[in-house]
């Protein structure tokens, strides 16, 4: 890993470059700052523990993590996949745009009795060397970086030839994909060039992003059973208080009581029609694994130097 600290250990203040070494544009910096604040709002770590904790071990197993392996969890949040990967004996780096989530991750790692290195980083400009990791994984994480080709190129760049990529992403047709479609009419228009997160749940899209940089080994659609939102309104209330993207959409319509009521109804209806007679929902995701090809990434993106994020890595 390079560039997160100076030789004296002082955190750098350099902005991370875009892949290809071009400094991010002011608009992009503003967008990323907005995204960081969004994911730091509410209580995402509680949601990760209470609703989707099963996914972390699923992804770590798919990535084949274990002793002697150096593993990167991209957009790791509070370590939902990073901590289970560390439990398998791997040497794990967890990186995320929102370091506010790391405190909970450190607690999770301590509870599990493992060490994880936490690094503030944008998935579109990772502060790591080419081929530094044996496995690179992301659990419903990298899908939220707005420029898909840029982040895919970075995943490929930091994975060694022959290494493993493992990606778990909500599908467009599944519950979370539908959640984003339901919230869209109430959200401000996305900035030009930003792509919808659930596209990462479309196998053809991910294959196109990886191109000849990796050979897809498995691609499987699975579901996560969620049974805590059976009562009408329960899903909406939980997401409106815990989940950054939902909190942000409610903020956008806050001054308009009719729009707030329409959004309430749309979310309640989505949850109701997605809940079975047993009170449970099945949230569909795509679990994809790939082997990094031997050839260098054809995009020519990323550099091994100067990708400081201004945050020093820390192991806990
Ligand atoms: C739904 S959460 C998933 C977190 C974690 N992987 C999990 O399974 O709980 C999405 C994560 O993506 C992170 N994220 C969003 N945009 C990012 C970007 N451009 N670079 C790195 N992380 C990003 C957010 O901060 C958030 O932690």
Longest dimension (CA), the chain: 61
Q: What is the pLDDT of residue 28?
A: 87
Q: pLDDT tens across 259-312, in order?
A: 999 999 999 999 999 999 999 999 999 999 999 998 544 444 433 322 333 333
Question: Which two tokens mark 258?
Answer: 């009719």
Mean pLDDT of all residues in the chain?
Answer: 88
Q: How far is the CA of 108 from the centre of ligand 1 (A)?
A: 17
Eight-class DSSP state of 65: -
Beta carbon of 167 within 6 Å of any ligand 1 atom: no
For position 251, what pLDDT does the model report?
Answer: 98
pLDDT for 192 equals 87
- Gap between the Cα atoms of 145 and 249, Å rounded: 18
77 in contact with ligand 1, CB cutoff 6 A: yes
Residue identified by tokens 């980083």 is 121
**Residue 46 in this model has a pLDDT that exceeds 60:** yes
pLDDT over 50 at 316, yes or no:
no
Beta-carbon contacts of 148 under 8 Å, excluding residues fewer than 6 positions away, are 195, 199, 200, 205, 209
What average pLDDT does range 52-61 have in this prediction?
98
Q: How much is the pLDDT for 98?
A: 98
Ligand 1 binding pocket includes 177 (Cβ within 6 Å): no
> Which pLDDT does position 312 carry in this prediction?
35
- Give how far Cα 260 sits from Cα of 181, 224, 255, 264, Å: 16, 29, 8, 6
How far apart are alpha carbons 158 and 151 in whole angstroms?
11
Q: What pLDDT sits at residue 78?
A: 98
3-state SS, residue 308: coil
Flag whether pLDDT at 315 surpasses 50: no
* Distance between Cα 98 and ligand 1 center (Å): 7
Residue 74 has pLDDT above 90, yes or no: yes
Residue 200 CB–ligand 1 contact under 6 Å: no
Tell which one of 17, 37, 38, 39 to mutate to probe ligand 1, the residue whose CB is within 8 A of the most ligand atoms. 39
Q: Is the pTM of this model over 0.75?
A: yes
**Alpha carbon nearest to ligand 1 atom 4, residue:** 77
pLDDT of 307 = 31
Residue 74 bridge partners (DSSP): 95
Supply the CATH classification number for the domain 39-224+283-297.
3.40.50.150
């Amino acid at each position: 890993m390079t560039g997160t600290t100076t030789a004296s250990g002082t955190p750098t203040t350099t902005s991370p470059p875009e892949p290809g070494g071009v400094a991010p544009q002011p608009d992009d910096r503003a967008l990323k700052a907005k995204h960081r604040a969004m994911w730091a709002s509410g209580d995402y770590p509680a949601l990760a523990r209470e609703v989707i904790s099963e996914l972390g071990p699923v992804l770590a197993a798919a990535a084949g993590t274990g002793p002697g392996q150096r593993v990167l969890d991209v957009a790791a949040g509070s370590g939902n996949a990073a901590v289970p990967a560390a439990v398998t004996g791997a040497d794990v780096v967890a990186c995320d745009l929102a370091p506010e989530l790391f405190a909970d991750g450190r607690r999770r790692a301590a509870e599990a009795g493992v060490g994880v290195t936490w690094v503030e980083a944008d998935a579109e400009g990772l502060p790591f060397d080419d081929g530094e990791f044996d496995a690179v994984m992301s659990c419903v994480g990298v899908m939220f970086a707005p420029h898909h080709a840029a982040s895919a190129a970075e995943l490929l760049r930091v994975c060694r030839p022959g290494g493993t990529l493992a990606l778990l992403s909500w599908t467009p047709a599944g519950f979370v994909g539908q959640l984003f479609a339901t919230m869209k009419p109430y959200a401000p228009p996305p900035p030009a060039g930003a792509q919808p997160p659930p596209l990462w749940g479309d196998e053809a899209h991910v294959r196109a992003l990886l191109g000849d940089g990796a050979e897809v080994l498995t691609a499987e659609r699975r579901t996560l059973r969620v049974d805590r939102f059976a009562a009408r309104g329960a899903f909406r209330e939980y997401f409106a208080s815990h989940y950054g993207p939902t909190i942000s959409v409610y903020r956008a319509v806050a001054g308009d009581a009719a729009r707030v009521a329409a959004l309430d109804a749309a979310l309640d209806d989505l949850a109701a029609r997605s809940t079975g007679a047993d009170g449970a929902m099945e949230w569909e995701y795509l679990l994809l694994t790939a082997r990094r090809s031997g050839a260098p990434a054809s995009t020519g993106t990323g550099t091994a130097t100067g990708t400081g994020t201004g945050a020093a890595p820390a192991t806990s």
